[in-house]
Structures are given as structure tokens and as C-alpha cells.
Structure 1
């Protein structure tokens, strides 16, 4: 059976003996920043079984991701976490950054104080694997907006520009400072430069600890070496702790690291100085061959080969031996001794450190500054992309020619009654559906950037969603006004100003409602295709069931009649019908068949009391839209921050 040594197996007398040798003066200041990980284990829940059984019927399996991991790092050091895919590298960073979603045991210490989520957000910056940047902003603009969100509210424009210029120089971005980020369609800066921008964003707060998840992923060998060299200089020259995960670095990059942590299947196989790793494994009988990259050899050595059962059992046994050897080694014991020794200072000393942490903690940007910064960034990003803002303004208007050509100018005969019903139905259905299409195309990049910045504690979901609503309002007003003006007057609906105001107001609300509905769905689902399908299904089925234009609601099944009361399309349909058919005179044919002499006859038959309930219906439509926005905020809060790569 595998045996491991934990911190609690170390003799207390030995620890106390070492502690008496240290200087425990309460007034002694921390000269260096330290980051310690002591016996951290991480367990997540997995649901086993097909998805169609649901969350309640599937069996829950507990998976051990990390097991008794200990590390100790000081300022001025760059440490690399090596290991194969699925070894637990990213999970270890999540635990250190207080972003783990499972059950974490053990302790993480910052300056020998237990590292809470608040402390981690203040003194630690986490650079995730994928770059989440808005493509239409320049490098300087991206950093400027990020600085306005990350720096204290009292920071002046001069302070912000000075900070932005500093990180541009630190990360070697001076030559591309005024170049656009670019995206999949319009090319901008290179992948390596995007990585540097992402890192520069995190450096704006001058963090003591910089965590990076696979920073060289997708980069060529030269760009990767240049990036790691910059990170090493950042650690050595600026006194920061740089901790990064990396798969298998080339030998030139491997030599730049001060410390190496090698993980396999969630257990530490080696942690120590880079120049000692070859000697350590040689003493265990695993000598690195000459002219072989040590990182390649040791990562392969600590990996499980699953090509067949025999090889898998053999390599699994080897990994167990390596992890057991390390847990009983002097290297591991010295790390644990050092952490326990540092964290056993008297309580008064800890109180002083806590006071210093609280004193030096930077203040976050205020609500209004964050709100207007987000609003300005969204607006600039969309106006830089001609396709985006033209789509927002004119996509709804693309339906106008089809409606006008198909219907022409409506008369007042009996056949115009059916034409008017079809026009009103399309007027209630098209605006929300077009708005949903706009949201699916333009909202996901903003949402992904929100997830990154919200996980850094920069602002709340309410601030982000309120900024988004303020951002889309001018486009919604302009788009719905163009649609309403052309459709209403060209098709010959009732030529009265009050009726036109009612019509255009409802078109605006329904256009706005459709976008908020799609945002709600995209708060629940990450996949834009699924969001599009779900939003379209909700909007189309709601219009069919409750508008009353295709089938009288009173003639439907009782359950649908009750559901219609909770549907915005019921009240929108009544508004449009009352607005158009009230006081509308119609002509009858001479063949003696039944006819509607006026629009009020039709209203009394299909929408009784619609005229009297006009004010109530407008309040209901506004209430539904407000309630939907509140639901969006609740969904984003309950959904939390997904673990984006």
C-alpha cells in the first residue's frame, strides 16, 4: 500500500525546535512575498450515466483531482508546474486562486496568512489559457479600459495613462500599442502579442503573485521562449512570484525556471530547484539520457500510458513509486517544515500582517465608473465594426420591403381585414426575433469578457447587464423607429399621430424584449446555436399561442388560456388590435354576404374590452419587460462564473 508523509506526521518537537531558531519579532516586517500550499487536496463531483436521466437519477461519483500537494514559493522566483494532460495542473492554480468549484482541503498561505478569496483577488492575478479580448479595440484602448476598471476610483487620467504605458513597455508591446487586437475575420496583432496583452491586463493592478495557465499554448517556439523570458524578467527584476503551468517546454525554456513542480494524477512527483531535478531522478534510478530535453523525459516518466492494459499497469505502478518516493524524500519534508515554521508565528504578528494587508489593499473602481467604462467600451467596439452597427440598425428594416411589396397599401374592404391581421401579427413577431439574432451575434464576446473580469472581482452582473441595456437602447430605438415609420405609413394603417405613437412604442418594447430574452437564454447556455434555437422556439410558440391573431385565445384549451395571461404577446396583440381596428370604417360588398361594417365589430368578437384595457396592457407589457430583465440578473447570479479555459 502506498505511504505518504503529511504535515501532521512530522514530529512536533522537531518543528518547535526549528521555530525557536527563527526570529519571531512581531515588529519584523515581511521582506519578501511568500506563497505556500500545504497538503492541498481537491475533490469534484461527477454524475455518471446518460444525460437523459437528469441530475436526480444519475449516480454521483467523487473524483480526486489533487492529493496532498505542498509547494513553497518566494518573490523573485518563477515556478513551472509540469505534467501531462489531466494531471491536475490547472486545478492546482484554481485552488491557489480560490476559484475551485469542488471541495478543497488543506491550506494556501499568502505571506504566512491563510489566503481567502478576498486576498486572492487583491494580490493575485490569474491569466487563463484563452485570450478573451474585444477584437475592434487597439492594445492601448484595451489596457486603458481595463485600467479604469481595475485601478481605484480616485485614480486620475494621468495615473491611468502612466500605468498603461508602463505595462506596455514591460510586456514589449510598444510597437503594436495602437494596433487593433483583431479577430477571426479581420486580422490584427499576432497570437503571442495577444498573450502579452492578456498578461499586461493582469499586471495593471501590480499583483504580488501572477498565475498563468498554459501561457505558451498555440505559440511557436520563438514566441514562447520570448514570452517566458519576459515572465522570468518580471519575476527577477520586479520581485513577483510567477507560477505557471506548461505541458512540455523546450530545453531553453526549461532552464529559465527557478523551480519545477512535476505532477502526475494529482500527486506531486517532484518539487524543487530546476538544477536539482536531474540529480534527484538519477538517484531514483531514472537517469535522463544525454542530449534529451529533461522536461520531455520527466513528464513522460511521470505519465500513465494507456495504449493497452499491460502498459497501463506498468506505468501506473511506476507513477505510484515516484510519488511515494517524493512524499518520503527530504525535499518534500523540507518544504513542509518551511511552511509550518513560517505559519507558526504568534497571533499578534498575524494581526499586524492582517492590518498591513487591509491597509494596502487597493480600492475597487466605483459603480458609476465601472458602468460608464463598460458602456464606453461596448459602444466603441461595435462602432469600429461596420457590419455590427449596420446590423443593429438596419437588420429589422430588411423585412420592410417584403411586407410592403406583399401587402401594398391596405384598403378598407373586407379582404383588408385579413391583411391587417397578418400585418399586425408580423409586427409583433418580427422585431423580437430579429433582436434575438442580433444578440446571438454580438453578445457572446461581451459575455465571455464579463466572465473573466467578474471572476477577478471587478464588477457585478448587475453592473454588466445594466451597461449592456444602456448600450443597446439607442440602437433599439433607431431600428424600431425606422421599421415603424415605413411600415405604418406605407401600408396605410390608421393615419393618426396617436395611433402611430402607440404602434411604434410597442414595436420598440417588443424589439427590446426579444434581445433581453436571448440574453437570458445565453446566461443559461454557453452554446450560441442552442441559444438561438431556444430563443426562437420561445418567441414563436408564445406568439402563436397568445397573440390571438392566428387563433382566438378563448377558443383554445383552458390550460392555454391560463398560460396566455402570463405571456407578453397576449397584451401586445390586444394593443395592436385595439390601436388599428378601433374606429376603423370598413366597406361591405353587394352580394349580401356577412361583413364587418367596422373594426369595432371585429374587436368585440375577438378582443372584447381591448380598447378599455389599452392602458392596462401597456403597463403589462412594460412590467413583463422589467421582470424579464430582473430574471436575467438572477440567472447570471445563479449561473455563477463558468470555468472558461
Structure 2
């Protein structure tokens, strides 16, 4: 049971704006190269109605929603969007639209209340009291008050069921109090009962709160179909029919396609439009009807400017976040800390790795010899092995977790929830704090168990260099995560360069070949190794076989020295860290505008249909004005755009 509340919270819409009563798309076309994804699509959606958009895979449904929702996709497009009969720019429409994409993306380590509060704080310019009230009302509207403090959950954290997660996803959009909802396959992956409850919830939200709700569905059940107020049918990137559900059945029945008793109407409609010739016939007729509606609007498809709806216009995606940068940073940093603390894999595995590795290395190299023959090599080996462990562990960790965060980052930045700079700096600050604690535990364990040089100054210098090295390696992994499409590819791609840097650091060979000497000056592994050896060896006495003593700095091999002071080597490591962080930011930045995979699917499907549809379109358009020659006739009605279609063949009605 779902209770829809009358929300008394003072919202931005109640304060400054009127409720949107209708949304109309006119003559929207989109293409990728020579492949048409959307072809002259037009339809209308109204306030208080649940509007279903049906069609086979690749029909262009997701691409259509991406354009209405203001998302960036890698195709060129031209068309017109009207709100209450007035043409609007997509940039200005984004604040009124909530878009729930097909792929569910929630943070498993957050509770339901925390998830909705995070969205509300970054999307509503309201006081804490108003936001809290809005969140609580939304939770009650969703019917999940009993799960408000439960973790969302993921593969590592036990949490909500699939249906409950879908309600939370809807709640993320509902808490923003939008006028228009776009939902791409909201019932995907759910069983019939849960899917029906989700659709029932959406219809109640539409009718009780006066929202415009559009949802794409692939194969809705008959119970779900009955919840539609209006329905639009798409095939091959074209709008085949759009109208009220009760009129749709009558319309197709009158045109020779009655729905059989006990048969799912949606399956019936999809069966009809699965035939390309039949779908194109209805689409051609529907295009003529919409063409008549466009007469007198003062704009034709050719006359429209691409700036209002074009997918390639960068200006359409420069909108800034809603709240201040500091508020974004605070919310993101708090979420990041909570994520690290609650995720058992992140918390336990990282702590265990550093503590266990520290104990192992301490027991492996203890005690260090003061003999001038063996002592230096033992120290080189211990330091090199420490760096090898610290290199791969943070690098692989960030690669793994960036893959998890990638879809969440795309979703949240696409809705202007926060800027990429706020995300990146918040992530960097939290990583810095966490790595500070982890490397401190590791350094204390290894330094004193192995028996490195005593003295607080030596320990803290050792700790500082390891801390810088660890952050550099973590950033190195982030760079490859951003460059590569998957975790596996990123790990493989990052491992090679790291092994090369380790090999050329100066430890594995007594001298560096002449043709590799230049790599010394660009190898952060070398600067780290040289710094740690300098801290350990300088000022320490070793005993020769004859009983004489020698200073440690005099025993260091030439290829483990670079002629620079310790301060200079540390400064170079700091410069490396800053440089890599900047590169990482520049590589992560494009994720805010990444195109959806759904649009790629639409392109693939559209390319398969282009040739056959083009042939049919030419045949139809050549006779569009001739009633007696098998042409398409459009009969329009004045009531809310109600229409009829007829195709005449030799004086008889074929459709």
C-alpha cells in the first residue's frame, strides 16, 4: 500500500513557478553519421497522467528521453520542446525534470534516509528543517518508512530488496519535487508483482501530485498496461501512434487490428509495429497528422535552430550545480567517509592488508645486520619490498572502487547535483586522511620490527616519503581507471608501467644501462627509493671484516644515488603528486558528459533498419497527396488532438 501525501513543504515551485501542465515534443530528429536514430518524432504528455512509451529494443526510446532530460549524447539532433505551448530551451527545462535511467545506481553503504537527504541537500536550496520534512514525506510516499534506516546494500552489504531499491531510486527524483518524471524501464529486472506495485506508485504520484510521468517499458504486463493514461508507440526511431489508452485499442480495432480477448494489449501493439511495413504506414500517417498540428506554430523543422535541442551544443551542458561549492564538498566528503567506514571490503581488507603485510615484512627482514658487507643490501631489499607492496595495493584498490563509482558519478553530475571539482577534491581529501592513518599503521609496524635506524626524526622522514609514494601510486591507479573501460583492462594496463619503473629504480641492477639512464629523472619510484635509502644510511656506522667502521652513505651504490639532497628528492615527489592529481582530474572530468550505452544500442538498431525504412518512406512519400493511389490520409479532430488514420487502396479502406 502506498500513501500519497499532500506535501505542505514550501518548495521552489510553490514559491516562484507555476506547475507545468503539458509537455510537447515536435519534429525531433537525431542521427549518428548517416544513421537516423530518431525521425521526426512528435507527441504530447499532460499533467496528472501516466504516459507509457512502448517499442522494441532500439526503437529510440532511451535517446528520446535523453534529449528531453537534457543529457548529453554523441549524436546530432534537431527539434523543438514546448512547455504549456511555449518553446523552451533544454537547459532551462533540466531543473523541472527528474530522469531515472534504466541502470539502477545507488550507494550500498548509505541508508535510505541518508540517500534521499544527500540528494535533497544538493538539489534544493532550502533550510535543514524543510529538507528533513521533504525527505520524511518522500519516504512515506514511497511506502518504505519501515526501511528508512536500512542500508541500501550491494554485493558486499546486505540491504534492500530489488523492489525497495527501485522505490529509493524513484525517491531520489521525487524528493527534488520535479514537474516532469522520465523513467527508462522502471520495471526492468523486477518480478510481476513488484513491477505492478512500482507502476501503481507512479500512477498515484501522477494523479495525486499533478506530475507529468513518462515511462519507457519493453514488455509490460496487461495489469501494467491498464495503468497507462496515455500511450505512445515507437518503432525504428519513429512515432507510430500516440493517444489515450482507451482510444488506442479502438483505433487499432477500427483499422483492422482488434485485440483478441484475454490478450495483453501491449503485446498486441508491439506485434503490430514489429512489422516494418505496417509500422512505417502508421508512422507516415501520424507524421502527417502532427504536421497539420504544427501549421501556424510559427516554426517548421527547417526553421528551428539547433541550439534549443541539439545534442552537440556545449552550451546546453554548462549549467552549474544548484547549491554552493562548499555545501557540495561537505556532503561529498561526509558520504565518502561513511562509505569507507561501512563497507566491509574497503575497511577490513585495507586494514588487514597493511597490518598483515607490516607484520610479515617485519618478521622477514628482522634483524638487520650492521656488517658493511650484508647490512646495506638487507636494507635495500627491505625498502624495495616495502615500496613494491605499497605500490600495488593502493593502485589496485582505487581501480576497483572507481569502477563502482563510475556510473554513480555519471548519474549525479548529469543532474547538476555537484561539480566535478567538488567531487574530486572531496575524494582527494578523504583519501589523504585515510591513507595517512593506513600508512602510519604500516610504517610503525615495519619500521620498528625490521629495526631501521632509530630516532623520531628518521621515522617521520621515512613515514613522510612513504606517505607521498602511496598517494602517488593511488593517483597513478586513478589515471588508468579513467583511461580504461573496465577494472580488468585498467589493472593490466597499469601493471606494465609500474613494473618497468620498479626495474629501472636502481635496485635490481648494479648499474643502469646507458640507454636507460634518462629514465632515472622521470621515475618517481627511483626518487622514493633514493630518499628512503638516504634516510636509513646517512650517518649510520657499519663494521668491516677488519673491524674498522665506515659511514653508511659511503657504502651506497652509485645507481642508488642521484646527487640531489633529501629535501630536493622529497620536493620532486610532491611535484609528482600534484602533477598526477591534476592529470587525474582532467581525465575524470569527461565522465560528467559521457553518453549512455542505451543511445549506442539505439544507433546499432537504427542502422539495421535504415535501408529498408528509407525504401518504404520514399514509396509512401511519393504518393502522399494522392488518395486514389494507395496514399496516406490524415483526418484530424479538434478534441485534445484526437485523430484517425486511413490508407486508401483502390477506393477501399485498408487501414
TM-score category of the 2 structures, normalised to the smaller one: 0.7 to 0.9
Q: Kindly indicate whether the alpha-carbon contact (under 8 Å) linking 2:369 and 2:378 is maintained by their aligned counterparts in 1.
A: no
The aligned counterpart of 1:451 is: 410
Answering whether residue 31 of structure 2 is matched by residue 43 of structure 1, we say yes
Q: Which consecutive residues of structure 2, in runs of 5 or more, have no partner in the other structure?
A: 1-16, 302-318, 599-655
Structure 1 residue 287: Cα displacement: 2.3
Q: Kindly indicate whether the alpha-carbon contact (under 8 Å) linking 2:321 and 2:418 is maintained by their aligned counterparts in 1.
A: no
Structure 1 residue 201: Cα displacement: 0.8
Structure 1 residue 297: Cα displacement: 1.2
Distance between the aligned counterparts of 2:320 and 2:422, measured in 1? 20
Question: Which residue of 593, 596, 606 corresponds with 2:559?
Answer: 606
Answering whether residue 208 of structure 2 is matched by residue 237 of structure 1, we say yes
The aligned counterpart of 1:431 is: 390
Answering whether residue 533 of structure 2 is matched by residue 577 of structure 1, we say yes
TM (normalized to structure 1)? 0.82
Superposed counterparts of 1:252-267, under 5 Å: 252-267=223-238
Answering whether residue 447 of structure 2 is matched by residue 488 of structure 1, we say yes
Q: Kindly indicate whether the alpha-carbon contact (under 8 Å) linking 1:432 and 1:512 is maintained by their aligned counterparts in 2.
A: no
Distance between the aligned counterparts of 1:613 and 1:182, measured in 2? 50
Q: Which moved more, 1:495-504 or 1:436-445?
A: 436-445
Answering whether residue 544 of structure 2 is matched by residue 588 of structure 1, we say yes
SS of 2:138's equivalent?
A: helix
Answering whether residue 185 of structure 2 is matched by residue 214 of structure 1, we say yes
Answering whether residue 564 of structure 2 is matched by residue 616 of structure 1, we say no
Superposed counterparts of 1:115-514, under 5 Å: 115-152=88-125, 155-303=126-274, 315-328=275-288, 330=289, 332-333=290-291, 336=294, 364-413=322-371, 414-514=373-473
Answering whether residue 588 of structure 2 is matched by residue 636 of structure 1, we say yes
The aligned counterpart of 1:556 is: 513
Q: Which moved more, 1:190-199 or 1:436-445?
A: 436-445
Structure 1 residue 377: Cα displacement: 1.3
Q: Kindly indicate whether the alpha-carbon contact (under 8 Å) linking 1:112 and 1:342 is maintained by their aligned counterparts in 2.
A: no
Q: Kindly indicate whether the alpha-carbon contact (under 8 Å) linking 2:358 and 2:445 is maintained by their aligned counterparts in 1.
A: yes
Distance between the aligned counterparts of 2:300 and 2:142, measured in 1? 33
Structure 1 residue 493: Cα displacement: 1.7
Q: Kindly indicate whether the alpha-carbon contact (under 8 Å) linking 2:40 and 2:287 is maintained by their aligned counterparts in 1.
A: no
Distance between the aligned counterparts of 1:341 and 1:318, measured in 2? 30
SS of 2:448's equivalent?
A: helix
Gap change, CA 1:340 and 1:192, over 3 Å in 2: farther
Distance between the aligned counterparts of 2:269 and 2:362, measured in 1? 72
The aligned counterpart of 1:351 is: none
Gap change, CA 1:516 and 1:362, over 3 Å in 2: closer
Q: Kindly indicate whether the alpha-carbon contact (under 8 Å) linking 1:393 and 1:478 is maintained by their aligned counterparts in 2.
A: no
Q: Kindly indicate whether the alpha-carbon contact (under 8 Å) linking 1:98 and 1:117 is maintained by their aligned counterparts in 2.
A: yes
Q: Which moved more, 1:633-642 or 1:33-42?
A: 633-642
Higher relative contact order (CA 8 A, sep 6+): 2
Structure 1 residue 586: Cα displacement: 2.2
TM (normalized to structure 2)? 0.81
Distance between the aligned counterparts of 1:531 and 1:243, measured in 2? 38
Size of the aligned set, in residue pairs, is: 563
SS of 1:87's equivalent?
A: coil
CA shift digits 1:261-287 (9 cap, x unpaired): 101110111111111112222333222
Distance between the aligned counterparts of 2:201 and 2:383, measured in 1? 62
Q: Kindly indicate whether the alpha-carbon contact (under 8 Å) linking 1:260 and 1:272 is maintained by their aligned counterparts in 2.
A: yes
Answering whether residue 526 of structure 2 is matched by residue 535 of structure 1, we say no
Distance between the aligned counterparts of 2:377 and 2:321, measured in 1? 63
Q: Kindly indicate whether the alpha-carbon contact (under 8 Å) linking 1:578 and 1:614 is maintained by their aligned counterparts in 2.
A: yes
CA shift digits 1:313-364 (9 cap, x unpaired): xx33333323223323x4x346545976999xxxxxxxxxxxxxxxxx9981
Distance between the aligned counterparts of 1:164 and 1:437, measured in 2? 37
Distance between the aligned counterparts of 2:569 and 2:200, measured in 1? 65
Q: Which consecutive residues of structure 1, in runs of 5 or more, have no partner in the other structure?
A: 1-28, 46-61, 304-314, 344-360
Distance between the aligned counterparts of 1:632 and 1:175, measured in 2? 41
Structure 1 residue 91: Cα displacement: 0.8
Gap change, CA 1:32 and 1:129, over 3 Å in 2: closer
Question: Which residue of 486, 507, 522 corresponds with 1:566?
Answer: 522
Structure 1 residue 404: Cα displacement: 2.3
Distance between the aligned counterparts of 2:419 and 2:19, measured in 1? 35
Q: What root-mean-square deviation, in Å, do the aligned CA atoms of Structure 1 and Structure 2 show?
A: 2.6
Q: Kindly indicate whether the alpha-carbon contact (under 8 Å) linking 2:106 and 2:152 is maintained by their aligned counterparts in 1.
A: yes
Q: Kindly indicate whether the alpha-carbon contact (under 8 Å) linking 1:70 and 1:335 is maintained by their aligned counterparts in 2.
A: no
